[in-house]
Structure 1
Amino acid sequence: MPKISAPTVAEHRAAQRAALVRAGVEVLLESGIAGTIPRVVCERAGLTRSSFYDYFHSKDDLLVAIAIDAIESWDREIEEALTDVEPGLAQLRAYVDATMRMTADGRHEVAGALREADLSPSSMDDLMRLHDALLRPLIHVLEHLGIEEAQRRAFLVQGMIGAGMELISHGVDERTAADDIYRILVDGLGT
């Protein structure tokens, strides 16, 4: 029996899988979808190529695992940013600031790289449901503000957030983007 590097087999397997996902992220960001192949990911993780298939059936399964990990991490960080913030405009500001900061820190790069993936329709549907779940904190913020049809309006606000992310990727300062988005959301475009 192979040696395990954790107190239990389950912990060992979880650590091995996590190492493959981390290595997959690194390779994805460096080499894109085409370069994210099992051999390279395993080399980066320090594992044998055959061990890849103990955790993932295919490259697509790894890409989905990377996306799920990124979405869950993003969601945790947003929830943390909203913790202990007064409901209402203060939470809206915290939400905008956190998303712009996380974008500037590069946490959205994985999503950009994964856009090139030609995943199966069922995998894409699963990922889109998870991505839509990221709207949950924003919907709650809008509900606390008394916004009618908060779910529908959250999609519109998310469009503004997406535009801010795009600006940051083109060199606009995160603080400037956050200030502009917040001002437009609260005051409108003005005259």
Structure 2
Amino acid sequence: MPKISAPTVVQHRAAQRAAILRAAEALLIEGGVAGVTPRAVGERAGLARSSFYEYFPSKDDLLTAIAIEAFDQWAAEIDEALEEVEPGMPRLKAYIDTTMRMTADGKHELASVLQQADLEPSSFDDIMALHDKLMSPVKAVLAQLGIAELTAYAALVQGLLNAGMQLVAHGVLPATASQQVYDLLTSGLPIPAQPWL
């Protein structure tokens, strides 16, 4: 029986799988999708290349697992941030604030890199289903506000959030981007009064 580095085989396998995931995440951030190969991941994780295939049949499976874990962590943090916030506009503001802060903390970096992956259709569908799940807090807030056509408006809100996240990624302060997104959603463009000519 192979030597294990944990009290049980189950714990050993969980630790090795986690090591592969962390190694692949680091490689993704450093060199993009192209840098994630079974050999590179195995070396970074301190495991034999063959260990990669014991846990992930293909690179697509590994990238999908990374995306699922990232989406789950993102969703859990959003849920925790909104848990004590009263419904309606305060929750919308808290959702935007949390999204911009998490982006500034680098928590969206993996998702940005994973968008470059040319995944198999089934893997892509799995990730898109998770992305749709992340829209549920936006839809819940919009429903609380009495907005009809939730799917369409949630997509529009998400588009504006993505633009705010891009601003943060390019150096805009999270609080500034958050306020701009919130103001645009709630008040529209800040067009100055036009003087009569």
TM range (shorter): over 0.9
Q: Are 1:93 and 2:93 an aligned pair?
A: yes
TM-score, scaled to structure 2: 0.92
Misfit runs of 4+, over 6 Å: none
Aligned residue-pair number: 191
What residue identity is the alignment partner of 2:5? S
Name the residue aligned to 2:111.
Answer: 111
The 1-side partners of 2:98 and 2:127 are apart by 22
1:83-135 deviations in Å (ceiling 9; x for gaps)? 11111111101100011011111111111111221111111111111111100
Structure 2 matches for 1:1-191, cutoff 5 A? 1-191=1-191
Question: Equivalent pairs: percent with the same residue?
Answer: 60
TM-score, scaled to structure 1: 0.95
* 3-state DSSP of counterpart to 1:4: coil
What residue identity is the alignment partner of 2:137? P
What residue identity is the alignment partner of 1:78? I
* 3-state DSSP of counterpart to 2:181: helix
How far is 1:16 from its partner?
Answer: 1.2
How far is 1:189 from its partner?
Answer: 1.8
* 3-state DSSP of counterpart to 1:185: helix
- After superposing the two structures, state which structure 1 stretch, 3-12 or 120-129, moved more: 3-12
* 3-state DSSP of counterpart to 1:107: coil
What residue identity is the alignment partner of 2:85? V
The 1-side partners of 2:141 and 2:19 are apart by 35
What residue identity is the alignment partner of 2:32? G
- After superposing the two structures, state which structure 1 stretch, 156-165 or 167-176, moved more: 167-176
The 1-side partners of 2:181 and 2:133 are apart by 21
Q: Provide the aligned C-alpha RMSD in A.
A: 1.2
* 3-state DSSP of counterpart to 2:32: helix
The 2-side partners of 1:35 and 1:181 are apart by 34
The 2-side partners of 1:131 and 1:11 are apart by 30
What residue identity is the alignment partner of 2:58? S
Q: 5+ residue gaps in structure 2?
A: 192-197
How far is 1:152 from its partner?
Answer: 2.1
* 3-state DSSP of counterpart to 2:130: helix
Q: 5+ residue gaps in structure 1?
A: none
The 2-side partners of 1:12 and 1:144 are apart by 46
What residue identity is the alignment partner of 1:42? G
